[in-house]
Structure 1
Amino acid sequence: MDVIVSHVNLDFDGLASLLAAKKLYPSAKVALSAKQHPTVKSYLAIYRDQLAFTSYEGINWGHVTTLILVDVASLKRTGIPTNDLSTGLKTIIYDHHTPKENDVRDGERYVEQVGATITLLMERLVKEKVAITPFEATLFGLGLYTDTGNFTYKQTTSRDLFIASILKEREMDVTLINRFSEQALTTEERKLFQTLLTNSEEIVDSGITLLITTHEQPTYQNGLATLTRRLMESTDSDAALSIVKMKDRVYVVARSSSNRIDFRPLMNELGGGGHAQAASATMKKQELANVLNKVKHVLKQIIKPAVTASEMMAKPVKSVSPYDSINNVLEQMYQYGHTGFPVLDEDGLLVGVISRRDVDKATHHGLGHAPVKAYMSTQIVTLEPSSSLEEIQTTMMKHNIGRIPIVSKQNMLGIVSRTDVIEQLHRESGPVTDLSVVSKMQAQLPPAIYNLLHEIGEIADTHGINVYLIGGIVRDFLLNRPNEDIDLVVEGDGITFSNAIAEQLGGQVKTHEQFGTATWTTPANIKLDIVTCRTEYYDAPAALPTVRPSNIREDLRRRDFTINALALQINKSEFGTLLDFFQGQEDMNKKKIRILHTLSFIEDPTRIVRAVRFALRFDYELADQTQELALNASFLLNQVSATRFLREIQLLIKEKTILRGVKLLDSLNVWHSLFKTKPTFESLMKLEQVLAHNFNDAFIVILTLNFEQSSWKKKVKRYSLTTKQNQIIQQIEAMETVPISRNDPMSSIHNCFHLFREESILLYALLTQNGLLLSYVKKREQLKPLLTGQDLLDQGIKPGPIFSDLLHQLTSLQLDNEIVNRKEALTWLQAIKKE
C-alpha cells in the first residue's frame, strides 16, 4: 500500500501538495493529520468531501510499502506512528525546506529551494501533462500564495511565479484565495492575540526591532503562526517571536520582514526548522522561562550586522567650490549625470549642497556667472559613517532628499544616494559571496593566478581600499569560457596601489600617469593591468571621452554592454562578491546584448560593431531597444576615425564571423550609412572567396563590399591607411584599364601583369571573378625558375637590362608550356646567345 502524508499543523502548501501528489500517484491513499492550521480547518469544513482524504487512524501503517512525504522531509514532523512502519519501507520526498539533520536521506528525494512545495509537484504535473480542474488549480494557488507571502518572501523564485501563471490559465480563483489566506480571527484567537500583545517586549539591536512575547495556558490552541505575523505587522516591528506553553509543550514561532534576520540558527538550537524569515519549533517537557533564556542567548546570532554608510557610500566624492560659477556647476552636472553636488571650502570642509533645481533657477534668471555660495543650501542633512541602512532610508524619507553626505567632524568621507540604497536592498536579496563564481574562478584560473588574486586582496585590505576583477573575464567565468586577460580596478590610486604590491611581492611596475593606470609584471613574468576607478563623459558624439577618477559603480557604468559591466571583489573578506548593478546576468540568461544607457551608441558609435561581435561570439541577440538605438545611431559612424572603425572590423574578422557580421551590420544600416550601398549577394560571395584566400584585412573587406560601385576608389580611400593599402588601390585601378581576352595566352597576360604584386593580381582576379587571371596567378605562384642570373653569366652574357628581359621571356615561355625543364631552357638560352 502507498500512502501520502504531510506535516502536523497542516498549512495550505501541505494540503495542496497532498492533492497534487495524489494526482501523480493515483493508487496511493492520502492520510490527513488531525492538527491543521485554523484557515485550513475552515477550508476543509467546506471542501472535505471533494478531497476524500482519510485520517491517520484509517491507515494500517504496518502494511505501507511506499510512503510519500510532501512539504516535509522528517518522519518525526509527520506525526505518524513510526514504530508501526515496516523495515523495508520505500520513501519518496517532495520538499522545499532547508535540509535538516533528522530528514529522511534514503529513497527518492525531490528537495529544491523554491517558494513552495506545490511548485515542485506542479512542475511534474505539467511535464506529465496531467489535467487540472479549476478547483484543484485554486487549492494549488492557495498553497503557493500563502507559502510565498503573495510572492513577497525571500525564498520566492521565478519558478513559483511561472507556476502561478499556469494555474491562472487553469482558472485558479484568486478571489477565493484571498478569502481563505486572510481569514478573520476567531474570538479565541483575538483573545490570545491581545494577551500576546500585552506580554510583548521590544528589543532594538543594530537598527532592528524585534518583538518577543510569552504566554502560558493549559489548553492547546492552533493558529500561533498567524497571530505572530499579525503581531509583527500591527506593531510595525521587523520581526516577532512568540513563545507559548500549551499543555506540556512550548511552541516557538518566528516571523520576520527583514532580510537582516535569519531564524534558522535559533530553530536549529531548539530542534525546529523552517525558513530564514518564517520558522518554528516545538519543545516537550520544557519550562517557559528556560526556553525564553535559550532564545535570548541565541538572539545575537539571528541578527545580521547592519550595513553601514561607510560600506555603501560612493567615494571619492565629486564636489564643487563655493566660488565656482553656476555655469561651471551646470557643465559638471552634464558631464557626470549628477543632479547635485556637495560644496566644500578650501579646507575640504562641507559648507553646503547645491541641487539641479538651484542651478536651473539661477540660470533662468541669467545668473550663470554667479558663485555657488549665493545659491547653495546651508541646511545640510548629514549622517555618520556608522549610520545603518535603515537610518539612511528613514532620513531620506523624512527630509525627502535623494543623497546624504557622510561626514566625520565636517570632513566629507563619501555620499549615499537613493541609487546606492536601492542597489543595497537588491544585493541583500541574494548571497553576498557567490560561491559558485568562486569555484568557477578556481577551476578556470591557473593556481598561481588564483592564489595571486588572494594575495592582492589581502594587500588591498591592509591599505583600506577595494579592488575588483572587471570586464570580460568576469563574464567568461559565469559562462564557463576560458579567459586569462586579468584587469584589476581599485577605488583609489591605481598607480600607488601597484607600487605597494610590487614592494611587497616583487616585480616591476610600468606606470601611465595620464590615465592613472599601471602594468605590474610579477617575478614570475605575469602581467596584470591595474586601473583607477574612473568615469567618463563625451563632449560631442563620436568624440574620445574625457576621463575622471571615480568609484566602482561609475566605472562599470561607462562599459559598453551589461554583460561586460560586471565586477568581482577580491578583498579577503569579500572574495568572490559579484557586483552586477545593471542586470548583466539576467541578460546572459536571456541571451541578449543590451547597452547600459540610451546615449551609448551616440557617444561611441563603434559600439554598434562591438554589439554585433559579441552577439555572434555568444550566439546572442540584440535587445529590441538596443537594436533600435543602433539603427538610429549608425549615421554617426561617418564621424568615427577610420582607424577606430577598422580596428573594430578587424576584431570581427578575428572572431571568424565576418560574413555573418557583415549581414548583421547591414541590418543595422551600417553599410548604407557609410557607403550609400548595401552588400549584395554577389559581393558577399566575393568576400567569402577573398577571405578563403587569407585576405584577413579589414580594409580588404571594405574594398570587396564596395568594388561593384563605380566610385569604389573614392569610397574606400578614407580607409586606406598604409602604404601597402594605397598600393593595392593604385594597382587595382591600373589593372582595370588592362584588356584581357579569354583566348589570350598566359605569356600575353604575363606581359601585361608582371609588374604588379601577386597579392594585388589575386585580389583583382577575385573581385572581377576573372577565371583566366586566377589561373595565371596560380600558375605564376607555382612556377619554378629554370635559370638564374648565374646561368646567364656562365653563358658569357654581360650583366645589364638584358638579364631581366631574358628571364621575363623565359617565364613567358614556361607559362605557355613551350619550355618545361632546365635542359630546354639552356638550349633556348644558347640559341638566343647565337642570335
Structure 2
Amino acid sequence: MLRAMRLILAHDNADLDAIASLALARKLHPDAIPVLHGGLDGSERTAFILFKDALGILTPEDLPDEEIESLIVVDTHDLGRLGEYAEVARKVPVLVYDHHPTEGEVPPGHYQLVGSCATLLTRRIQQEGIELTNPEATLALAGLEADTDFFQNGNTTREDFQAAAYLSQFADLRVVREITRQFFDPEALNILAELLKNPGWQDIGAFRVILKILQPEDRIPGAGLAMRLISLTGADAVFLFLQDGERTDVVARARQRGPNVARILQDLGGGGHKQAASARVDLPPEEAYRKVLECTAWQEKPILVQDRMTRDVRTLSDSLKINEAIVELVKIGHNGAPVLHEGKLVGMVSRRDLDRAMRHGLQNAPVKSVMSRRVISIEPDEPLGHATELIRKHSVGRLPVVKGGHLLGILTRSDLLGEAPPKPDLTEKVLGHLQMQDWEMIETVRENAPSTARIMLVGGAVRDALLGKHPTDLDVVVSGVDVIEVAQQSGLDFKCYPQYGNATLTLPNGNHLDLIQARDEYYTAPGAAPTVMKGTLEQDLARRDFTVNALALQLTPEVKFIDQHDGLSDLQAEVLRVLHPLSFLEDPSRIVRGARLAVRLGFRLEERTLSTISDALPHAEMAFKRLKNELLLVFQERTPGAVFEMLQEWGAGELYGFGDLTALKRADEARRKGEHVPTETLMALWLHSFAPEQRKQVARIWQIPKRTREVADLAGPEDFLRMSDWEFLYWCLLNPDQARAYEVAKLTPPRQVTGKDLLDLGMKPGSALGELLEHLKVLRQQEEVSGFEEELEVARRWIRDGRDAEG
C-alpha cells in the first residue's frame, strides 16, 4: 500500500517570495514536503541552488512514489497556476497562504494584503513562537525585499517592515544582498540595449506601455529587465513575452499610476499584484501578446485627480491678518494654505512668507498682501499622471483642484503615491483639544524658541486629545538646546531644576507649564532604577512604557504628528503594547501603570505583552519605590477596585497581595454614579481586604496612614457622631446591609438628660434644676461625659451630694 504525503507548493514561474514561502510554510507544517516545480532564472535560480539542501526543498523528480493526501499552497490562491499539480488540487484538501487580492470564492486558508507572502508567514511564525534558522531567515528576507521591490511598491505595508526587522536578526544580510542584486549576463544586457533602441511602445487607453516579445536562447531575468525598462523609459507598464519551447512566460511590471497588470494577466491564467504579475501559458508569444492587447481590463476607468485628492481643504480668507493666519496654520499643522476671496481661489500663501512679513512689522496686514497670485492648479477630471507632471515641472508640494474658480480639493505628493485616503488632520485634533491657556503658553514657547530647538508635546496629552478628551497634564519635551535656554528666551517667569533637566514656566495668569529635557535611559539590572542621560526626541519616545504613550506632536521647527512605534494603530484597536519585550522586566511598575490605563481607557493588553509579565514579577522588589508611587496613583483612579482586579486577571496580583475586593468594588460603583468617595476610604477598604494579622505589616510596607490602619482593624463601628465622613462611608461600603441603620444612627440626635428626667429623679422645679441642666451642658461640650447614662449618673450624684459636690 502506498503511503500518503502532504506537499507544499507555490505557483509556477516561482519568484523569490514563492521560494521563501515554501521554506516558511514548512516551519508551520513540519510534516509537509516543500516542492518547487517549473523553471527558474536569475536570482531565483541562485536562491534555489543555495538553499535547496539546507531547507529540504525538493523537485517533482525527487518525490517518492506516494499518494498526495493534501496540499498547502503559498503565494497564490489560483489553483490553476500550480502547473502539473493543478489537477491534484481539484481532488484533495487545500490550505492556502496568500497575500494577493481576492475576488469571489477562494480556497480555505490565511489571506492578508501585505507586500509579500513571506511577511504573512513570518508573522504567523512569530505568533507561534517558532525559531528560524539562518538559511530560513536569509531566504525569507530576500523574498520579502524582492516582492516589495525593496519596500518601494505600492503594496508595501507596515507589517512588511516589521517582518523584515524581525528576520534581519537571524539572516545573513550579505547573502541577502547577493541574492537580490540583479546581475545581468551578457545576453540579458544585449537584450536590454536592444529594448532601449526599440521598446515596442503602445498607447492603450490612458497608459503608455511597452509590450515586447523576446526569444532568448537561455532563460533571462524577465522581472529585472521589466523593472529596469520602467526606470529608464518612464513607461507606465512593461509586458515581456518570453518564449520557452511551446509555452510563453509573460512578465509584467507597472508604476503606481499605471494599469493593474494582475487584472490584465488574469485573462491568461496569471496573477500577482497591481504593479507586479506573471503568467505561464500554453500559447505562442504572438497569441499571448494579442490576448493582452484585447484584455477588457485596459478599458477600466483610469485614475483621475478627483479619485485621489483630499477634499477637506483648510483655507484662509484673503482678509485675514498675517498674525491670525500664522495661528491658523499652526493649528492645522500646515506650512501653507490656499487663500479664498468670496469662496473662490485667489492665491496661495506659505508660512515662510508670513514669518518674513512679521519680521517687517506687518502683523496687521491682510494675507492677500503677501500671498502668491500665480497658482498652479488642476481640474478634478484630469488623469492623475498630468498632476505628477505638473508637480515635477513646477516643483510644488501640492496642487489645488479647481473647477470654475471654486476650490474642490487639494492634491499632495502623498496622494500621488497612492496612499489611502488621508486620515483627519491629527495635528489639528490634538491642538484643538488643548485648553486655551495651555495653547497660549505653548505658542509663546514655540514663537520664542531657539532655531535649533525641537519641542514636542508627548505622551498622555496627545493620547487623550486623539481620544477626544481635554488633556489635563501637558508633557513638553525639548531637545537640540538646553531647557534653561528655552525658558530664558520664552520671556516668561520660570524656575529651573538643573538636577532633573526641567524648568517650570509661569504665565501672567498664574498657569504653569513644565519643560522637560529629552532623555535616554538604560537599566543596569531588572527592576533597578534607570540610568538617565540627555537624548534626542526619538530616544525620549523610545524609552516610554506603551506605544499609545509614545505618540507626539512636534511643535518646532514645524508642527507635525509623530508616531514612530505604531501607537496610533494600537490606539484605534484599543490595545496596550509595550515598546519592547523587556519593558516590564526593566520596570515592573509599568504593569500597574498598564492596569490603570487599561481600566481608565477600556483597553486590553496585547497578548505578547501579557506573556512578559511572569518574567518581570520576580524582580518587583527592586522596583519597590516605583510600585509604592503607583499604588498611590491607583487610589486616585476613578475605579481602583477594577485596577486591582485587572492585576489579578493578568496574574500580577502578587505585586501587592490583596484579598477580597468586594467592598472596594462597591466604592467603584459609587464613584461611577458620581458619588464622592475619599482616598482614605478607598485605602481603608483595600487594607481591610488583607487578613487581620497582615494589616499592620502591609500598612508599614506601603506607608498607609496610621488612622487608616486603625479604622481597617476595627471589628465594628464605634461612635457615629465622632466619625469623620470618610470613616462613616467606609463602614457603609463595608457593610451595605447595615448602611441604612448606620445613617439613622448618625442622623439621630443623641439622647440627653432633660428637665423631665431630673423631675423623675425627685428634683423640684426651680433654679436648682436649671443650674444642673447648664452644668450637664458644659460637661458635654468639654467631652467629660459621653451618652445619656453617664449624664444621668452625674445628675444622681448632684442630687445626692448637693450642687457643691460636682462643682
TM-score by length of 2: 0.52
> 1:590 maps to what in 2?
547
Q: Give the 3 Å change call, closer, same or farther, for CA 819–340 of structure 1 in structure 2.
A: closer
- Closer, same or farther in 2 for the Cα pair 1:276/1:765, shift >3 Å? closer
Residue 621 of structure 2 is matched in structure 1 by none
Is 1:421 the counterpart of 2:391? The answer is no
How does 1:46-57 map onto structure 2 within 5 Å?
54-57=58-61
Change (3 A) 1:220 1:305: farther
3-state SS in 1 of match to 2:140: helix
Is contact 2:205–2:299 with CA below 8 Å preserved after alignment?
no
Letter in 2 for 1:198: P
The letter of the residue matching 1:11 is D
Quote the Cα distance in structure 2 between the aligned partners of 1:352 and 1:84: 66
Give the letter aligned to residue 291 of structure 2: V
Q: How far did residue 201 of structure 1 move?
A: 1.0
Deviations 1:259-293 (A, max 9, x none): 77544444444433222332233444584475135
Q: Aligned ranges for residues 126-137 of structure 1 at < 5 Å?
A: 127=128, 129-130=130-131, 132-133=133-134, 135-137=135-137
**CA 1:763–1:203 in 2, change beyond 3 Å: closer, same or farther?**
same
Alpha-carbon distance between aligned partners in 1 of 2:308 and 2:225, rounded to the nearest angstrom = 35
The equivalent of 1:460 in structure 2 is none
Over 3 Å counting, the alpha-carbon distance change for 1:61 and 1:797 in structure 2 is farther
Q: CA deviation at 1:172?
A: 1.0
Q: Which residue of 20, 39, 55 corresponds with 1:16?
A: 20
Which residue, out of 741, 746, 749, partners 1:781? 746
Does structure 1 conserve the Cα–Cα contact (< 8 Å) formed by 2:99 and 2:112? Answer: yes
* SS of alignment partner, residue 40 of structure 2: coil
Q: Deviations over 1:65-85 (max 9, x none)?
A: 555544445554333356689
Give SS of 1:279's match. strand
1:776-830 CA-partner distances (Å, limit 9, x unpaired): x9996286766999999x99999xx999979979999999687579xx99x99xx
Structure 2: distance between partners of 1:535 and 1:693: 30
RMSD: 6.5
Would you say 1:565 and 2:476 are equivalent positions?
Answer: no
What does residue 540 of structure 1 align with? 440
User: Partner letter of residue 201 of structure 2?
Assistant: S
Equivalent-residue separation in structure 1 for 2:35 and 2:263 (angstroms):
32
Residue 189 to residue 56, structure 1, CA distance change in 2 (3 Å): farther
1:581-621 CA-to-partner distances (Å, cap 9, x unmatched) read xxxxxx9983426454559xxxxxxxxxxx99967613889
Q: Cα–Cα, structure 1 residues 67 and 298, in superposed 2: closer, same or farther, change >3 Å? A: closer
Q: Deviations over 1:302-323 (max 9, x none)?
A: 74554458643514x21233xx
Deviation at 1:33, TM superposition (A): 1.9
After superposition, the Cα gap between the structure-2 partners of 1:175 and 1:616, relative to the gap in structure 1 and judged at 3 Å, is same
Query: Given the alignment, which residue of 60, 63, 74 partners 1:59?
Result: 63
- Structure 1 residues 11 and 594: CA distance shift in structure 2, 3 A: closer
TM superposition shift of 1:146:
1.3
1:656 is aligned to 2:639: yes
Alignment of 1:397-546 (within 5 A): 397-402=392-397, 404-411=399-406, 413=407, 416=410, 421=412, 424=415, 428-430=418-420, 540-541=440-441
Percent of aligned positions that are identical: 23
Residue in structure 1 matched with residue 44 of structure 2 by the alignment: 40
Q: State how 1:186-585 maps to structure 2 within 5 Å.
A: 186-187=186-187, 190-191=190-191, 194=194, 198-203=199-204, 205=206, 209-215=207-213, 223-242=221-240, 249=247, 251-258=249-256, 262-284=260-282, 287-288=287-288, 291-295=291-295, 297-301=296-300, 303-307=302-306, 311-312=310-311, 314-315=313-314, 317-321=315-319, 339-340=335-336, 351-365=346-360, 375-386=370-381, 391-392=386-387, 394-402=389-397, 404-411=399-406, 413=407, 416=410, 421=412, 424=415, 428-430=418-420, 540-541=440-441, 561-562=462-463, 564-565=465-466
C-alpha distance in 2 between matches for 1:5 and 1:341: 54
Give the counterpart letter for 1:6 in structure 2.
A
Could you tell me whether the CA contact under 8 Å between 1:17 and 1:121 is conserved in 2? yes
Q: What is the CA deviation profile of residues 70-121 of structure 1, one whole-angstrom value per residue up to 9, with x for unaligned ones?
A: 444555433335668997x66565444445779654xxx4554443334455
After superposition, residues 691-770 of structure 1 pair within 5 angstroms as: none
Q: Is the 8 A contact 1:9 1:37 kept in 2?
A: no
In the alignment, the residues of structure 1 paired with residue 331 and residue 370 of structure 2 have an alpha-carbon distance, to the nearest angstrom, of: 21
AA at the equivalent of 1:561: V
Instruction: Verify the 8 A CA contact 1:383 1:404 in the aligned structure 2.
Output: yes
Gaps of 5+ in 1: 434-465, 473-531, 545-556, 568-586, 600-610, 622-648, 662-687, 706-748, 767-776
Q: C-alpha distance in 2, partners of 1:74/1:692?
A: 56
Amino acid at match of 2:462: F
Tell me which residue corresponds to 1:79: 83
Cα offset, 1:697, TM superposition: 8.1
Corresponding position of 1:7: 11
Does the CA contact (< 8 Å) of 2:377 and 2:401 recur in 1? yes
| Offset of residue 329 of structure 1 | 5.7
- Larger CA deviation: 42-51 vs 262-271: 42-51
1:134-180 CA-to-partner distances (Å, cap 9, x unmatched) read x4543333222212222333444444434433443335133553454
Describe the superposition over 1:225-247 as per-residue Cα deviations: whole angstroms up to 9, x where unpaired: 33333332222234334466766
User: 8 Å contact 2:17–2:140 — kept in the other structure?
Assistant: yes
- Following the alignment from structure 1 to structure 2, what is the Cα–Cα distance between the partners of residues 283 and 242? 13
State the distance in 1 between where 2:682 and 2:640 align: 16
Give the letter for the 1:292 counterpart: V
Distance 1:784 1:174 in 2: 88
Superposed displacement of residue 35, structure 1 = 1.4
Distance 1:61 1:302 in 2: 51
Residues 1:429 and 1:802: Cα distance change in structure 2 (over 3 Å): farther
Closer, same or farther: CA 250–360 of 1 in aligned 2, 3 Å? same
Do the aligned partners of residues 56 and 384 (structure 1) sit closer, same or farther apart at CA in structure 2, a change above 3 Å counting? closer
Mapped partners of 1:784, 1:313: distance in 2:
67
Amino acid at match of 1:255: R
Q: Could you tell me how far apart the structure 2 residues matched to 1:818 and 1:313 are?
A: 75
Does the C-alpha gap of structure 1 residues 352 and 783 become closer, same or farther in structure 2, counting only changes over 3 Å? Answer: closer
Question: Does 2:164 match 1:169?
Answer: no
Aligned to 1:149: 149
**Distance 1:272-1:537 versus aligned 2 partners, 3 A rule:** farther
Deviations 1:604-646 (CA, angstroms, capped at 9, x unpaired): xxxxxxx99967613889xxxxxxxxxxxxxxxxxxxxxxxxx
Taking a change above 3 Å as real, the CA distance of residues 218 and 229 of structure 1, as seen in their structure-2 partners, is closer
Instruction: Give the superposition deviation at 1:37.
Output: 3.3
> Does the residue aligned with 1:276 lie in a helix, a strand or coil?
coil
Which residue identity does 1:541 align to in structure 2?
M
| Residues 422/658 of structure 1: CA separation in 2 closer, same or farther (3 Å cut) | farther
Greater Cα shift, 692-701 or 148-157: 692-701
Change (3 A) 1:356 1:791: same
Residue 384 to residue 130, structure 1, CA distance change in 2 (3 Å): closer
Aligned position for 2:138: 138
1:617 matched residue in structure 2: 600
Residue in structure 2 matched with residue 456 of structure 1 by the alignment: none
Distance 2:217 2:311 in 1: 50
Alignment partners' CA distance in 1, 2:229 and 2:138: 28
Given the two structures, how large is their TM-score scaled by the length of structure 1? 0.51
Which residue of the partner structure matches residue 501 of structure 1?
none
Matched length: 569
